[in-house]
A and B are shown apart, each in its own frame.
Chain A
Amino acid sequence: MTGRGIVLLVLAGLLLAVAPLVGDRYVVSVLTTVLWFAYVGQAWNVMMGFSGLLSLGHALYVGLGAYVSAALFVHYGIGPWAGMLLAMLVSVAVGTFIGFLGFRFGVKGVHFSLLTIAFAEVARIGFDHIQWLGGSGGLFLPVEAGVSDPLNLRGSPTLFYYVILALVLGALALSRVLLHSRLGYQWLAVREDPEAAEAVGVDLFRARMTAVAVSSALTALGGVFQAFYFNNLFPEQVFSMGRSIEIILPAIVGGIGTLIGPILGAFILTPLGEGLTFLIEAGGLDLPGLKQLFYGVALVTIVVFRPEGVWPWLARRLRLVRQPGEEA
C-alpha cells in the first residue's frame, strides 16, 4: 500500500471508531448491518477468494454459530463469550466434515458448490423440526430493556456496534497475516492451479481443509453476533439460500480475494440497499423484494463490467496500492 492508501485506511478507521458518538440510532444500526456483512464477507473470502472453493451454503455456518450460542444461553445460561467457542467448534466440525467428504471423493466445481448448498438446505429443514431449538416457530433470546451486561453480550446498540467493528478489524488482521504466511501462499497456489500446486509439493487436501476450517470458524462468530443482536432465530431465514447469496455479495462487489474488497463491498451495497428501501417507503410504497432485486442488479452489473471487483479498480485509480496486481 502507498502512503496515501494507509492514510485513507486510518482515516476510515477513525471515522468508524467515532461514528456512534456523532451518528444517531439509525446510522448506528445501518453501520452495524454494513459491518456484519463486511465481516461474513471476509470469512467467506477465505474459502473462495484465497483458496478458490466456491461455497454457496455459508448460511449454514452462520446458522450453526447462531443456534449453538443461543441454545447454550437460553437453556443453560452460558454466555456468548464461552458459547462462541463451542459454536466455532461445531461449525468447524461440520465444515471440515463437508470438506472431507468433498475433497476425499473429488467433488469439484459446480458439484462442490451444490454440496455446500445441499448441506445448508438439510440444516434448514432439519432445524425446522428440532423442537428443543424452537423448530420453525423460532428461537428467542430473552430481552430486558436497559440492561447493560457486556459479559453476556447484552446491552445498547453501541455495544454491538463496537463488537462487530472489532470483529471486522480482527478478521482483516487475521486475513492479512494468513495471506502472507506459508499457508496463505499455498492457498493462492491451490486457487490458481491445483495441479501445479500439488506438483511442487503443496498438500491440496490439507490446504483446502484449513481454508474451510478458518472460514467456517470465522463465519460462526458472525452467527453468534447475529443471534445476540437480533435475539430471534428462524431456520427459514438463518439457513436460507438467499442468506448464503447475501454473504457472498460484499466480496464479489468489492473484489474476490482482496483484503479490503469485502469491507468496501459491504459499504457500497448495504447503504444503497437500505437507502433505496428508505426512499421507496418514504414515498408511501411498500415493495418487498426491492432490496434483493437491487442486489441482483448489482451482482450482474459487477460481474459483467468489473469482474475483478471495485477495490482493485479503485485502488489503481486512486493509486492506493503500489503495483497493479499486488495484494493490498
Chain B
Amino acid sequence: MPIDYYLNIAASGLLTGLVYGLAALGLSVIFGVVRVVNFAHGEMMVAGMYGAVLLAGFLGLDPLLSAPIVAAVLFVCGWLLQRGVVNKFVERPEHMQFILLLGIASILVNGMLMLFGPDARNVSVPYSFDTVEIGPMLLDAVRLRAGAAAIVVAAALFAFFRFSRTGKAIRACADNPLGARVVGLNIDGLYALTFGIGAAVVGVAGALMSLLVDARPQLAPEYTLLSFIIVIIGGLGSLPGALLGGMLIGVSEALAGFLLMPSLKSLFSYGVLIVVLLLRPQGLLGKRS
C-alpha cells in the first residue's frame, strides 16, 4: 500500500479535524472566560447543523453562505441563555453548573428529536461529489471548503480577541474578573457576549459539519464529548490548543477508522483523553493552574 494512501486519509482527517477544532474553540472560549463548562455544546452544534439543513432546504442556501445566519441565531440564543439562566450559576458550585447544562442539553437534543425525527438529514450542494487533486492527494471539495472556512472563522476569532477593544476586555475578564470589575468593565455583559460568541462559533462549526455528515439528533452527545476531548487534549481555555487538538483527533480518528474498524475510531479518542487526563490534565498547550 503506497504512502500516498495514508497521506490522503490523514489529510482528509485533518480537514474534518479543523471543523472539530472550531467547535471545540467555542467550548474553550466559554470555559476560558465564563468558567462554565458547556455540557450542551454538541447539542448547539447539531442545532447549527439543522439550521444549515433547513436553510438549504427552504432557500437553497449553501451551508457556507448560511453559516453567518446560523451564527447570528445561535449568538442570540447563547446570549439569552447566559443572561437568563447561566449567569446565576457562575458563582455556584461546579456540579450545579454541570447539572444545569446537562438539563439544557437534554431539552435541546430531545426537542430536536421531536421536531426533526431520528432520521438523518443531509445537505446537497452542486460540488458534493467533486474532488480536488493536490499533489499526490485527492481530496473532497466539500471537506476542503469546510476546513478552509473553519480556518477563516478561527482566524477571525483570534484577531477579535487580540486586537479589538471588546476582545481585550473579555480577555481581561478571563484573567481577573475582580480586577476587570474594578476598572469598570461590565462583567455580566461581557460574559453574555462571550457565551454568545461561543455558541455562534459552534453553530458555524455545525453548519460546516452539515457538509460532511448527515444531521441526526443522536450526534449531539457524541459531539459534546468530542469537543471535551479536544479541549482537554489541547488545554482547557487555550484557543490554539483547541485547534491543534481538533486536528490531532481528526487525523487519528481517520487513521484509526481506516486501520482498525470505523466503529472503533472513537475508542481511540477516549483512550487519548484518559491518558491526557491522567498525565497532563492541563492539556498539551494549557498552563498549569
Q: Which residues of A contact B (CB under 8 A)?
A: 48, 54, 56, 101, 105-107, 109-111, 113-115, 117-119, 121-122, 125-126, 128-129, 136, 241-242, 245, 248, 252, 287-290, 292-293, 295-300, 303-304, 307
Contacts and interface: CB of A to CB of B under 8 A. Distances in A.
B270 A122 contact: yes
Contacts of B266: 121, 125
Given A110-B37, A114-B232, A128-B263, A290 B110 contact: yes
Contact of B106 (A109, A110, A118, A292): A292
Interface string B258-288: 0001011011001101100111010000000
Contact of A114 (B92, B118, B273, B279): B273
B167 interface: no
A101 B274 CA distance: 10
A292 B43 CA distance: 14
Contacts of A296: 103-108, 110
10 contacts: A56-B98, A107-B277, A114-B277, A117-B228, A125-B263, A295-B106, A297-B107, A299-B100, A303-B99, A304-B100
Contacts of B240: none
Given A56-B98, A299-B106, A307-B92, A101 B270 contact: no
B95 A48 contact: yes
A303 B281 contact: no
Nearest to B85: A304
B103 A303 contact: yes
B88 interface: yes
B118 A288 contact: yes
B94 interface: yes
B232 A111 contact: yes
B102 A245 contact: yes
B225 interface: yes
B111 interface: yes
Contacts of B257: none
Contact of A242 (B108, B221, B277): B221
B96 interface: yes
Contact of A129 (B107, B111, B264): B264
B97 to A, nearest CB: 9
B120 interface: no
B227 to A, nearest CB: 11
B104 A126 contact: no
A126 B261 CA distance: 12
Nearest to B107: A296
The 5 closest A-B pairs by CB, nearest first: A296-B106, A299-B103, A289-B110, A289-B113, A296-B107
A295 B108 CA distance: 12
A79 B103 CA distance: 38
Q: Which of A125, A126, A242, A290: most chain B CB closer than 10 A?
A: A125
A54 B225 CA distance: 16
Looking at chain B, what size class is its interface with the partner chain?
A: 35 or more
Contacts of A54: 94-95, 98
Given A117-B225, A296-B105, 11 more contacts: A118-B273, A118-B274, A129-B263, A241-B221, A288-B113, A289-B113, A289-B114, A290-B110, A292-B110, A293-B106, A296-B107
A119 B217 CA distance: 23
A101 B278 CA distance: 7
A173 B37 CA distance: 36
A97 to B, nearest CB: 11
B102 A288 contact: no
A107 B99 contact: no
A239 to B, nearest CB: 12
A252 B99 CA distance: 9
Interface-centre pick from A245, A288, A289, A307 (highest chain B CB count, 10 A): A289
Given A109-B94, A118-B270, A288-B118, A125 B281 contact: no
Nearest to A300: B103
Given A129-B263, A241-B225, A242-B221, A304 B88 contact: yes
A245 B98 CA distance: 11
Contacts of A293: 106-107, 110-111, 114
Contacts of A117: 225, 228
A107 B270 contact: no
B267 A115 contact: no
Contacts of A105: 277-279, 281
Contacts of A129: 261, 263-264
Contacts of B270: 118, 121-122, 125
A111 B277 contact: yes
Contacts of B267: 122, 125-126
Contacts of B107: 293, 296-297, 300
B263 A300 contact: no
B72 to A, nearest CB: 25
A219 to B, nearest CB: 18
Contacts of B88: 304
A299 B228 contact: no
A58 to B, nearest CB: 13
Contacts of B277: 105, 107, 111, 114-115, 118
Interface in B87-134: 88-89, 92, 94-96, 98-100, 102-111, 113-114, 118
A126 B98 CA distance: 26
B251 to A, nearest CB: 19
A126 B281 CA distance: 24
Contacts of A101: 274, 278
Nearest to B39: A56
Contacts of A298: 103
B114 A290 contact: yes
